Amino acid sequence: MIVIIMGPPGAGKGTQAKILAEKFNLLHLSTGEILRNEIDNGSDLGLKAQRFMDRGNLVPDHLVLEMIEKIIISNLDMGFIFDGFPRTVPQSEGLDSLLDRLKLKINYVLNISLDKNILVKRLVERAKSSGRADDSEEVIIKRQDVYEELTKPLIDYYRHEVTQINGDGSIEEVSKRILSQINR
């Protein structure tokens, strides 16, 4: 099974992706987390990505696509849940063409939505304990703007397959909403 979980920063994608990955035995691919690991390891990719991430900008599409392609190709026996990827139309097109070549299909595209004021509040709260370099208030707002401009158009890109999920509520409530769609 291949699942894409979308939504603005702070909507709870990561938390919900972990729950689904465990339940359906999927490889959880959080591009943000993978990139932060690359930075911690001081890899070439990490060095390239860091200056974009620290400012709340997106890492260039070709770097993210190469990174994801390598991981998919070395884990072909697994299902996947993509969290924070694709983030732009070119990334979606790149993923489509990779999946086509591999004769794989996306089963679910979930879009978690939440009011912008709640998002910023959640992220400011998370910032107190996350230790993430991109969790300052200025960068949080920048990341919301980048989402609106470059990632939100993906809702239209996936309009034929997207399932809308209301992200307001507890982790358990949102998780139940998602599972009710997947277990259909």
Residue 24 binds ligand AMP, judged by CB under 6 A = no
Q: What would the x/- binding string for ligand AMP be over residues 123 to 162, using CB under 6 A?
A: -----------x--------x-------------------
Q: Scanning residues 60 to 119, which ones bind ligand AMP (CB under 6 A)?
A: 64, 84-85, 87, 91
Contact by Cβ (8 Å): 73, 4: no
Q: What six digits make up the tokens of 66?
A: 């190469």
In this structure, the chain runs to a length of 184
Q: Are 154 and 99 in contact (CB under 8 A)?
A: no
Name beta bridge partners: 80. Answer: 2, 27
Residues 2 and 13: their CA atoms lie apart, in Å, by 15
Is 58 a residue that touches ligand AMP (CB under 6 A)?
Answer: yes
Contact 36, 66 (CB under 8 A): no
CB under 6 A: which stretch of 27-35, 94-102, 114-122, 172-180 binds ligand AMP? 27-35
Could you list the residues that contact ligand AMP (CB under 6 A)? 9, 31-32, 35, 52-53, 56-59, 64, 84-85, 87, 91, 134, 143
